[in-house]
Amino acid sequence: MTRHLISSADLGRADVEAILETAGSMHDLQRREVKKVPTLRGRTVINFFFEDSTRTRSSFEIAGKWMSADTINLSGKGSSTSKGESLRDTAMTVDAMAVDALVMRHPASGAAHQVAQWVRCSVINAGDGTHEHPTQALLDAYTLRSRLGDLDGKHVAIVGDLTHSRVFRSNVITLKKLGARVTVVAPPTLMPSGIGAWSAADDFATSWELDPVLAGEHEHGPVDAVMMLRVQRERMSGGYFPTAREYTVGYGLTRDRLETLVARNPEVLVLHPGPMNRGLEIAPEAADSPQSVVLDQVSAGVAVRMAVLYHLLAGDDGAPSGPPSPATLAGATTTNEGAVR
Ligand code: ASP
Protein backbone atom coordinates (compact mmCIF):
# COMPACT_ATOMS: atom_id res chain seq x y z
CA MET A 1 0.00 0.00 0.00
CA THR A 2 1.18 3.55 -0.61
CA ARG A 3 2.77 5.77 2.06
CA HIS A 4 0.41 8.63 1.25
CA LEU A 5 -3.27 8.67 0.28
CA ILE A 6 -3.66 11.61 -2.07
CA SER A 7 -5.91 10.26 -4.81
CA SER A 8 -8.29 7.33 -5.04
CA ALA A 9 -6.09 6.24 -7.93
CA ASP A 10 -3.31 5.54 -5.40
CA LEU A 11 -5.21 2.42 -4.34
CA GLY A 12 -5.54 -0.72 -6.42
CA ARG A 13 -8.65 -2.86 -6.12
CA ALA A 14 -6.88 -5.17 -3.63
CA ASP A 15 -5.96 -2.13 -1.46
CA VAL A 16 -9.56 -0.89 -1.49
CA GLU A 17 -10.82 -4.37 -0.56
CA ALA A 18 -8.26 -4.61 2.26
CA ILE A 19 -9.23 -1.19 3.67
CA LEU A 20 -12.96 -2.02 3.50
CA GLU A 21 -12.36 -5.35 5.21
CA THR A 22 -10.38 -3.65 7.98
CA ALA A 23 -13.12 -1.03 8.26
CA GLY A 24 -15.53 -3.89 8.98
CA SER A 25 -13.45 -4.87 12.05
CA MET A 26 -13.26 -1.22 13.06
CA HIS A 27 -17.02 -0.85 12.72
CA ASP A 28 -17.50 -3.77 15.14
CA LEU A 29 -15.21 -1.98 17.56
CA GLN A 30 -17.24 1.21 17.13
CA ARG A 31 -20.35 -0.58 18.44
CA ARG A 32 -18.66 -1.59 21.70
CA GLU A 33 -19.03 0.30 24.92
CA VAL A 34 -15.29 0.89 25.33
CA LYS A 35 -13.91 1.70 21.94
CA LYS A 36 -10.30 2.45 22.58
CA VAL A 37 -7.54 0.06 21.40
CA PRO A 38 -3.78 0.55 21.59
CA THR A 39 -3.09 -0.08 17.88
CA LEU A 40 -1.55 3.33 17.16
CA ARG A 41 -0.15 4.10 20.61
CA GLY A 42 2.89 6.34 20.29
CA ARG A 43 1.89 7.63 16.84
CA THR A 44 1.00 11.26 16.26
CA VAL A 45 -1.55 12.44 13.72
CA ILE A 46 -2.04 16.11 12.87
CA ASN A 47 -5.36 17.13 11.33
CA PHE A 48 -4.61 20.32 9.44
CA PHE A 49 -7.78 21.85 8.00
CA PHE A 50 -7.59 25.00 5.91
CA GLU A 51 -11.30 24.69 5.07
CA ASP A 52 -14.37 24.17 7.23
CA SER A 53 -15.43 20.65 8.05
CA THR A 54 -17.73 18.86 10.46
CA ARG A 55 -17.75 15.20 9.45
CA THR A 56 -14.28 14.69 8.02
CA ARG A 57 -12.33 16.47 10.71
CA SER A 58 -14.18 15.02 13.68
CA SER A 59 -14.16 11.51 12.26
CA PHE A 60 -10.41 11.60 11.64
CA GLU A 61 -9.93 12.88 15.17
CA ILE A 62 -12.16 10.18 16.66
CA ALA A 63 -10.49 7.53 14.48
CA GLY A 64 -7.04 8.50 15.72
CA LYS A 65 -8.15 8.75 19.35
CA TRP A 66 -9.91 5.39 19.39
CA MET A 67 -6.71 3.84 18.10
CA SER A 68 -4.72 5.62 20.85
CA ALA A 69 -2.78 7.91 18.49
CA ASP A 70 -2.08 11.41 19.76
CA THR A 71 -4.19 13.62 17.55
CA ILE A 72 -3.77 17.34 17.23
CA ASN A 73 -6.08 19.66 15.31
CA LEU A 74 -4.86 22.76 13.53
CA SER A 75 -6.90 25.06 11.37
CA GLY A 76 -5.74 27.57 8.79
CA LYS A 77 -7.13 30.49 10.79
CA GLY A 78 -5.51 29.63 14.10
CA SER A 79 -2.10 28.80 12.64
CA SER A 80 0.85 30.83 11.36
CA THR A 81 -0.50 30.63 7.80
CA SER A 82 -2.74 33.55 8.80
CA LYS A 83 0.51 35.49 9.46
CA GLY A 84 1.66 34.83 5.93
CA GLU A 85 3.70 31.65 6.41
CA SER A 86 3.91 29.63 3.20
CA LEU A 87 2.30 26.22 2.93
CA ARG A 88 5.76 24.71 2.47
CA ASP A 89 7.14 26.28 5.65
CA THR A 90 4.05 25.29 7.62
CA ALA A 91 4.17 21.70 6.37
CA MET A 92 7.89 21.36 7.04
CA THR A 93 7.47 22.86 10.51
CA VAL A 94 4.84 20.31 11.44
CA ASP A 95 6.91 17.50 9.91
CA ALA A 96 9.97 18.57 11.90
CA MET A 97 8.06 17.69 15.07
CA ALA A 98 8.35 14.04 13.97
CA VAL A 99 4.65 13.48 13.49
CA ASP A 100 3.59 10.29 11.73
CA ALA A 101 0.71 11.54 9.59
CA LEU A 102 -0.66 14.78 8.31
CA VAL A 103 -4.36 14.70 7.44
CA MET A 104 -4.92 17.72 5.30
CA ARG A 105 -7.81 19.66 3.82
CA HIS A 106 -7.04 22.63 1.62
CA PRO A 107 -8.98 24.82 -0.83
CA ALA A 108 -6.33 24.41 -3.54
CA SER A 109 -6.52 21.37 -5.80
CA GLY A 110 -3.18 19.56 -5.66
CA ALA A 111 -2.17 20.94 -2.23
CA ALA A 112 -1.92 17.51 -0.57
CA HIS A 113 0.15 16.15 -3.44
CA GLN A 114 2.49 19.14 -3.18
CA VAL A 115 2.89 18.80 0.60
CA ALA A 116 3.68 15.09 0.21
CA GLN A 117 6.78 16.10 -1.79
CA TRP A 118 8.06 18.18 1.12
CA VAL A 119 7.51 16.00 4.17
CA ARG A 120 8.69 12.69 5.58
CA CYS A 121 5.40 11.76 7.29
CA SER A 122 2.38 10.17 5.58
CA VAL A 123 -0.02 12.64 4.00
CA ILE A 124 -3.72 11.85 3.79
CA ASN A 125 -5.82 14.03 1.53
CA ALA A 126 -9.00 15.00 3.37
CA GLY A 127 -10.21 17.08 0.40
CA ASP A 128 -8.19 19.34 -1.89
CA GLY A 129 -10.20 21.99 -3.68
CA THR A 130 -12.32 20.49 -6.43
CA HIS A 131 -9.88 17.63 -6.97
CA GLU A 132 -10.31 14.59 -4.70
CA HIS A 133 -11.57 13.26 -1.39
CA PRO A 134 -10.41 9.63 -1.31
CA THR A 135 -11.61 8.70 2.19
CA GLN A 136 -15.12 9.93 1.31
CA ALA A 137 -15.16 7.55 -1.65
CA LEU A 138 -14.00 4.69 0.58
CA LEU A 139 -16.72 5.36 3.14
CA ASP A 140 -19.33 5.59 0.38
CA ALA A 141 -18.15 2.26 -1.03
CA TYR A 142 -18.28 0.76 2.46
CA THR A 143 -21.84 2.01 2.96
CA LEU A 144 -22.97 0.76 -0.45
CA ARG A 145 -21.37 -2.64 0.05
CA SER A 146 -22.90 -3.12 3.46
CA ARG A 147 -26.38 -2.70 1.89
CA LEU A 148 -25.93 -4.00 -1.66
CA GLY A 149 -23.18 -6.60 -1.21
CA ASP A 150 -20.60 -6.93 -3.98
CA LEU A 151 -20.70 -3.80 -6.15
CA ASP A 152 -19.81 -5.64 -9.37
CA GLY A 153 -22.46 -4.63 -11.91
CA LYS A 154 -24.39 -2.39 -9.46
CA HIS A 155 -25.51 0.94 -10.91
CA VAL A 156 -24.80 4.15 -9.00
CA ALA A 157 -26.01 7.54 -10.27
CA ILE A 158 -24.06 10.57 -9.03
CA VAL A 159 -26.09 13.74 -9.39
CA GLY A 160 -25.48 17.47 -9.04
CA ASP A 161 -22.65 19.97 -8.94
CA LEU A 162 -19.99 17.82 -10.57
CA THR A 163 -17.76 20.75 -11.53
CA HIS A 164 -16.95 21.62 -7.94
CA SER A 165 -17.14 18.13 -6.46
CA ARG A 166 -14.04 16.27 -5.22
CA VAL A 167 -16.45 13.64 -3.86
CA PHE A 168 -17.63 12.80 -7.38
CA ARG A 169 -14.09 12.52 -8.77
CA SER A 170 -12.91 10.12 -6.06
CA ASN A 171 -16.16 8.14 -6.18
CA VAL A 172 -15.97 7.49 -9.90
CA ILE A 173 -12.44 6.09 -9.50
CA THR A 174 -13.28 3.87 -6.50
CA LEU A 175 -16.66 2.66 -7.75
CA LYS A 176 -15.25 1.75 -11.16
CA LYS A 177 -12.42 -0.10 -9.43
CA LEU A 178 -14.99 -2.19 -7.56
CA GLY A 179 -16.81 -3.05 -10.79
CA ALA A 180 -19.85 -0.77 -10.40
CA ARG A 181 -21.58 0.92 -13.33
CA VAL A 182 -21.67 4.68 -12.87
CA THR A 183 -23.77 7.43 -14.44
CA VAL A 184 -23.03 11.06 -13.62
CA VAL A 185 -25.77 13.66 -14.03
CA ALA A 186 -25.47 17.44 -14.05
CA PRO A 187 -26.80 20.46 -15.91
CA PRO A 188 -24.48 21.40 -18.79
CA THR A 189 -23.13 24.35 -16.77
CA LEU A 190 -22.04 22.06 -13.93
CA MET A 191 -20.66 19.25 -16.09
CA PRO A 192 -16.83 19.46 -15.87
CA SER A 193 -14.96 20.24 -19.06
CA GLY A 194 -13.08 17.23 -20.39
CA ILE A 195 -15.58 14.76 -18.94
CA GLY A 196 -16.19 13.27 -22.38
CA ALA A 197 -12.65 11.97 -22.65
CA TRP A 198 -12.59 10.77 -19.03
CA SER A 199 -15.92 8.96 -19.26
CA ALA A 200 -14.82 7.27 -22.50
CA ALA A 201 -11.51 6.17 -20.99
CA ASP A 202 -12.98 4.92 -17.70
CA ASP A 203 -16.26 3.70 -19.10
CA PHE A 204 -18.90 5.63 -17.19
CA ALA A 205 -22.02 7.34 -18.54
CA THR A 206 -22.96 11.02 -18.46
CA SER A 207 -26.35 12.72 -18.72
CA TRP A 208 -27.74 16.25 -18.67
CA GLU A 209 -31.13 14.92 -17.64
CA LEU A 210 -32.00 13.30 -14.34
CA ASP A 211 -35.43 11.77 -14.95
CA PRO A 212 -34.47 9.28 -17.69
CA VAL A 213 -31.60 8.06 -15.50
CA LEU A 214 -33.87 7.58 -12.48
CA ALA A 215 -36.42 5.87 -14.75
CA GLY A 216 -33.77 3.34 -15.77
CA GLU A 217 -34.08 4.50 -19.40
CA HIS A 218 -30.48 5.63 -19.74
CA GLU A 219 -27.48 3.60 -20.84
CA HIS A 220 -26.93 1.59 -17.63
CA GLY A 221 -30.57 0.78 -16.85
CA PRO A 222 -32.23 0.78 -13.39
CA VAL A 223 -30.32 2.41 -10.56
CA ASP A 224 -29.38 0.72 -7.30
CA ALA A 225 -28.24 3.91 -5.57
CA VAL A 226 -28.44 7.66 -6.10
CA MET A 227 -25.72 9.90 -4.67
CA MET A 228 -26.84 13.52 -4.45
CA LEU A 229 -24.10 16.15 -4.33
CA ARG A 230 -24.16 19.50 -2.60
CA VAL A 231 -24.45 22.65 -4.69
CA GLN A 232 -21.15 24.26 -3.65
CA ARG A 233 -22.08 27.91 -3.72
CA GLU A 234 -18.87 28.93 -1.95
CA ARG A 235 -16.89 27.80 -5.02
CA MET A 236 -19.19 29.47 -7.57
CA SER A 237 -18.17 32.83 -8.94
CA GLY A 238 -20.88 33.18 -11.59
CA GLY A 239 -24.43 32.03 -12.25
CA TYR A 240 -24.44 28.31 -12.95
CA PHE A 241 -28.24 28.06 -12.94
CA PRO A 242 -30.97 30.70 -13.13
CA THR A 243 -32.62 30.16 -9.72
CA ALA A 244 -32.50 27.67 -6.89
CA ARG A 245 -36.05 26.67 -7.74
CA GLU A 246 -35.11 25.81 -11.32
CA TYR A 247 -32.17 23.74 -10.10
CA THR A 248 -34.47 21.75 -7.84
CA VAL A 249 -37.03 21.23 -10.58
CA GLY A 250 -34.38 19.85 -12.95
CA TYR A 251 -31.91 18.12 -10.65
CA GLY A 252 -33.22 17.89 -7.09
CA LEU A 253 -34.20 14.61 -5.46
CA THR A 254 -37.71 15.84 -4.73
CA ARG A 255 -40.43 13.93 -2.91
CA ASP A 256 -42.06 13.05 -6.25
CA ARG A 257 -38.84 11.75 -7.72
CA LEU A 258 -38.17 9.65 -4.64
CA GLU A 259 -41.67 8.15 -4.81
CA THR A 260 -41.18 7.23 -8.45
CA LEU A 261 -37.79 5.69 -7.68
CA VAL A 262 -39.11 3.67 -4.76
CA ALA A 263 -42.08 2.44 -6.78
CA ARG A 264 -39.56 1.00 -9.28
CA ASN A 265 -37.07 -0.29 -6.72
CA PRO A 266 -38.06 -0.26 -3.04
CA GLU A 267 -34.45 -1.17 -2.12
CA VAL A 268 -32.91 1.88 -3.80
CA LEU A 269 -30.37 3.77 -1.65
CA VAL A 270 -30.03 7.53 -1.29
CA LEU A 271 -26.60 8.93 -0.39
CA HIS A 272 -25.33 12.45 0.25
CA PRO A 273 -21.82 13.28 1.52
CA GLY A 274 -23.08 16.21 3.55
CA PRO A 275 -23.53 18.95 4.38
CA MET A 276 -26.97 18.86 2.72
CA ASN A 277 -28.78 21.85 1.29
CA ARG A 278 -32.23 20.60 2.24
CA GLY A 279 -34.83 21.79 -0.24
CA LEU A 280 -32.24 22.48 -2.93
CA GLU A 281 -30.51 19.29 -4.13
CA ILE A 282 -32.40 16.99 -1.75
CA ALA A 283 -35.88 17.26 -0.25
CA PRO A 284 -36.24 16.59 3.47
CA GLU A 285 -38.58 13.70 2.57
CA ALA A 286 -35.72 12.07 0.65
CA ALA A 287 -33.01 12.91 3.19
CA ASP A 288 -35.05 11.38 6.02
CA SER A 289 -36.58 8.51 4.07
CA PRO A 290 -35.99 4.82 4.86
CA GLN A 291 -33.92 4.74 1.64
CA SER A 292 -31.50 7.35 2.97
CA VAL A 293 -28.14 6.07 4.25
CA VAL A 294 -26.74 9.52 4.99
CA LEU A 295 -26.10 8.77 8.67
CA ASP A 296 -24.70 5.33 7.81
CA GLN A 297 -22.16 7.20 5.69
CA VAL A 298 -21.20 9.31 8.70
CA SER A 299 -20.85 6.24 10.90
CA ALA A 300 -18.80 4.44 8.24
CA GLY A 301 -16.56 7.51 8.05
CA VAL A 302 -15.02 6.78 11.45
CA ALA A 303 -14.46 3.07 10.70
CA VAL A 304 -12.99 3.74 7.27
CA ARG A 305 -10.66 6.46 8.57
CA MET A 306 -9.49 4.12 11.33
CA ALA A 307 -8.78 1.55 8.63
CA VAL A 308 -6.86 4.06 6.51
CA LEU A 309 -4.75 5.17 9.49
CA TYR A 310 -4.15 1.53 10.35
CA HIS A 311 -3.00 0.60 6.86
CA LEU A 312 -0.75 3.65 6.54
CA LEU A 313 0.70 3.72 10.06
CA ALA A 314 0.48 0.41 11.91
CA GLY A 315 2.93 -2.44 11.70
CA ASP A 316 6.69 -2.53 11.51
CA ASP A 317 6.98 -1.19 7.99
CA GLY A 318 3.91 1.00 8.24
CA ALA A 319 2.22 -1.09 5.57
CA PRO A 320 0.35 -4.13 6.88
CA SER A 321 -0.91 -6.28 4.03
CA GLY A 322 -4.20 -7.50 5.47
CA PRO A 323 -6.88 -6.60 8.01
CA PRO A 324 -5.76 -6.42 11.65
CA SER A 325 -5.72 -9.68 13.53
CA PRO A 326 -7.62 -9.87 16.84
CA ALA A 327 -4.21 -9.74 18.56
CA THR A 328 -3.32 -6.56 16.71
CA LEU A 329 -6.48 -4.91 17.80
CA ALA A 330 -5.73 -6.15 21.31
CA GLY A 331 -9.12 -7.08 22.57
CA ALA A 332 -11.15 -5.53 19.80
CA THR A 333 -12.91 -8.75 18.87
CA THR A 334 -15.33 -9.95 21.49
CA THR A 335 -14.59 -8.37 24.83
CA ASN A 336 -13.32 -5.14 26.16
CA GLU A 337 -10.40 -6.88 27.83
CA GLY A 338 -7.18 -5.19 26.92
CA ALA A 339 -8.92 -2.07 25.78
CA VAL A 340 -7.26 1.16 26.83
CA ARG A 341 -9.40 3.27 29.04
N1 ASP B 1 -18.10 17.25 2.68
C2 ASP B 1 -17.75 17.01 1.30
C3 ASP B 1 -16.46 17.69 0.93
O4 ASP B 1 -15.78 18.21 1.79
C5 ASP B 1 -18.86 17.38 0.38
C6 ASP B 1 -19.27 18.82 0.36
O7 ASP B 1 -18.69 19.66 1.05
O8 ASP B 1 -20.20 19.11 -0.37
O9 ASP B 1 -16.10 17.69 -0.21
The per-residue pLDDT string of the chain (341 residues; one tens digit each, 9 = 90 and over) reads: 789 999 999 999 999 999 999 999 999 998 899 999 999 999 999 999 999 899 999 999 999 999 999 999 999 887 888 788 999 999 999 999 999 999 999 999 999 999 999 999 999 999 999 999 999 999 999 999 999 999 999 999 999 999 999 999 999 999 999 999 999 999 999 999 999 999 999 999 999 999 999 999 999 999 999 999 999 988 877 788 888 999 999 999 999 999 999 999 999 999 999 999 999 999 999 999 999 999 999 999 999 999 999 999 995 444 444 566 655 665 443 334 444 33
187: domain CATH number? Answer: 3.40.50.1370
Q: In this structure, are 202 and 64 located in the same domain? A: no
Say if CB 227 and CB 271 are below 8 A apart. yes
Instruction: Give 317 Cα–ligand 1 centroid separation in angstroms.
Output: 32
**133 ligand 1 Cβ < 6 A:** yes
- Asked if residue 340 belongs to a domain, the reply is no
Atom of ligand 1 nearest to the CA of 232: 8
Instruction: Give 125 Cα–ligand 1 centroid separation in angstroms.
Output: 13
Confirm whether residue 341 is marked as ligand binding: no
- Asked if residue 1 belongs to a domain, the reply is no
DSSP classification of residue 190: G
Q: In this structure, are 267 and 309 located in the same domain? A: no
Q: In this structure, are 259 and 222 located in the same domain? A: yes
- Asked if residue 193 belongs to a domain, the reply is yes
**64 ligand 1 Cβ < 6 A:** no
Q: In this structure, are 112 and 192 located in the same domain? A: no
Residue-number span of the structural domain to which 307 is assigned: 8-133+300-330
**274 ligand 1 Cβ < 6 A:** yes
Confirm whether residue 230 is marked as ligand binding: yes
Instruction: Give 331 Cα–ligand 1 centroid separation in angstroms.
Output: 34
- Asked if residue 339 belongs to a domain, the reply is no
Q: In this structure, are 283 and 200 located in the same domain? A: yes
Q: In this structure, are 274 and 145 located in the same domain? A: yes
Instruction: Give 232 Cα–ligand 1 centroid separation in angstroms.
Output: 8
Q: In this structure, are 203 and 188 located in the same domain? A: yes
Q: In this structure, are 29 and 113 located in the same domain? A: yes
Q: How many C-beta atoms lie closer than 10 Å to residue 310's C-beta?
A: 24
Q: Tell me if residue 164 falls in helix, strand or coil.
A: coil
Q: Give 312's Cβ-side CA count (13 Å radius).
A: 28
Atom of ligand 1 nearest to the CA of 165: 9
* Number of domains within the chain: 2
Q: In this structure, are 119 and 143 located in the same domain? A: no
